[in-house]
Structure 1
Amino acid sequence: MLNLVLFGPPGAGKGTQSQKLIDKYQLIHISTGDLFRAHITNQTDLGKKVSELIANGELVPDEITIAMLEEEADRNKDAKGFIFDGFPRTVAQAQALDLFLISKETKITGVIALDVDQDELSRRIAERKKISNRADDDAEKLKRRIDEYFSKTVQVLPYYEEQGKLTKVNGIGEIDAIFASLCAVIDSYQINP
């Protein structure tokens, strides 16, 4: 089973590259943001808890995020693998993901970090905002997301580096060239079915 975590700050190209990887390797995409929205929309028990927390300005606790993620993975038992998006964001989440995958007799195959500098991120997001006008590209929200990535989320990388699972890929250049670099990394993994 091929289980990937794709890391990178907002604007690094994770969404674009994830879709290409999903198509090529027939992976199931698990996005914690999408899971939150689906549970809130469907008014599930977890969704009601998340909605209440967000309304009170609180962060969603790891145990709720992990419960949603586990439920989604269990729903796709015949998957060839998963690509995790927006998770893990903390070492505690990475450890919980490892324990969950071990319980399913699998593991994280590899973690790929798209390396993109601040100037390029700013340029891409300005361009993306013109085209898609995404709500989360608001300057203030975006600054918080980038700050959170560089102050918190990036701290997860050493956890995977110690396991020999981290590879950094230059995220600047043509989309297809970056995709080819990602595929070269993925194809180098010795994957056991």
Structure 2
Amino acid sequence: MRIVLVGPPGAGKGTQAVRLAEKLAIPHISTGDLFRANISRQTELGKLAKSYMDAGNLVPDEVTIAMAKDRMEQPDAENGFLLDGFPRNVSQAEALDALLESESITLDAVLDLEVPEEEVVKRIAGRRICRNDSSHVFHVTYSPAKQEGVCDVCGGELYQRDDDSEETVRKRLEVYHTQTEPIIDYYKAQGLVVTISSLGPVDEITQRALEALKREKAENK
């Protein structure tokens, strides 16, 4: 299957992308991974992207699209892929359509992870990270530390990252509503959008997504 995964920050896209790609035996292609891989390998695209990032500028769409094209042409993506974080806006979606059409490939589904805005704020603003080891993550509501402000694992101080503050989360949501959400309507016009709730246990959400994708594939045969 060839899938685009969309949803607001805090919807659990990263978690579900990894799980779904594994279940469907297709590569998970995220823009973050594309940038890191190209920059670490010092490809021409990586050098170009780094020059924009070092200057504090956004990487232009055409660079992101070229990276995605290169990745989708790798042998492991021959039978499908799951795109996470790309396309990020309608112009990228249009470019992706043109790219796929040139290769006589079509998308099977656009999976939209739906979550109420206040839940997004609660999920992200409630995160607390250990200063000693950022892999030790807690949540004031869902997985609180035994002692407030102290890491259960190493005793380090727990803190809230600046980009997890409520104010920053709401700004990120504004950007999502303005730039990324319009691609849902763009793909709805093509009959590709499958919307599921991203509330509940992680395993349940994964199963919900797999069943919805299976139905979509059967209906479009």
Q: Same fold (TM over 0.5)?
A: yes
Q: What CA distance in whole angstroms lies between the structure 2 residues aligned with 1:134 and 1:46?
A: 34
Contact persistence 2:35–2:49 (CA under 8 A): yes
Show the counterpart of 2:173.
Answer: 146
| Distance change in 2, residues 1:116/1:86 (3 Å) | same
Is contact 1:88-1:97 (8 Å) kept? yes
1:92 matched residue in structure 2 = 91
Q: Which residue of 1 aligns with 2:102?
A: 103
Partner of 2:6: 7
**Partners in 1 of 2:160 and 2:178 — Cα distance?**
23
Aligned length: 192
2:65·2:92 contact (CA, 8 Å) conserved in 1? yes
Matched with 1:46 is 45
Matched residues in 1 for 2:22 and 2:162: separation? 25
- Change in Cα spacing, 1:78 to 1:70, as seen in structure 2 (3 Å) is closer
Q: Which runs of 5+ in 1 are unaligned?
A: none
Which residue identity is paired with 1:156?
I
SS in 2 for 1:186: helix
Counterpart CA distance in 1 for 2:220 and 2:160 is 39
Higher relative contact order (CA 8 A, sep 6+): 1
Correspondence 1:20 to 2:19: yes
Q: 1:120-164 deviations in whole A, cap 9, x for unaligned?
A: 112222444441789784436544432211111001111100001
Q: 1:141 to 1:119 in 2, by over 3 A?
A: closer
Q: Aligned partners of 1:116, 1:175: CA distance in 2, in Å?
A: 13
Structure 2 unmatched runs, 5+: 130-136, 139-158
2:29 aligns to what SS in structure 1? strand
Matches within 5 A, 1:61-140: 61-76=60-75, 79-130=78-129, 131=137, 137-139=163-165
Runs of 4+ aligned residues of structure 1 deviating over 6 Å after TM superposition are 132-136
| Structure 1 residue 191 displacement after superposition | 8.9
* CA RMSD of superposed structures (Å): 2.4
Kept in 2, the 8 Å contact 1:28–1:79? The answer is: no
| Distance of aligned partners of 1:192 and 1:105 in 2 relative to their CA distance in 1, 3 Å threshold | farther
1:163 aligned to which of 186, 190, 204:
190
Q: CA deviation at 1:21?
A: 0.6
Give the residue type in structure 1 aligned to 2:25: Q
Q: Which has the higher helix share?
A: 1
Q: Aligned letter for 1:68?
A: M
Q: Percent of aligned pairs with the same residue?
A: 41
**How far has the Cα of 1:76 moved from its partner?**
2.8
Larger Cα-atom Rg: 2
Deviates more, 1:149-158 or 1:172-181: 172-181
Q: Alpha carbons of 1:10 and 1:89: their partners in 2 closer, same or farther (altered >3 Å)?
A: same
Shift of 1:57: 2.2
**Residue equivalent to 1:31:** 30
Distance in 1 of aligned mates of 2:16 and 2:70? 25
TM-score if structure 2 supplies the norm length? 0.78
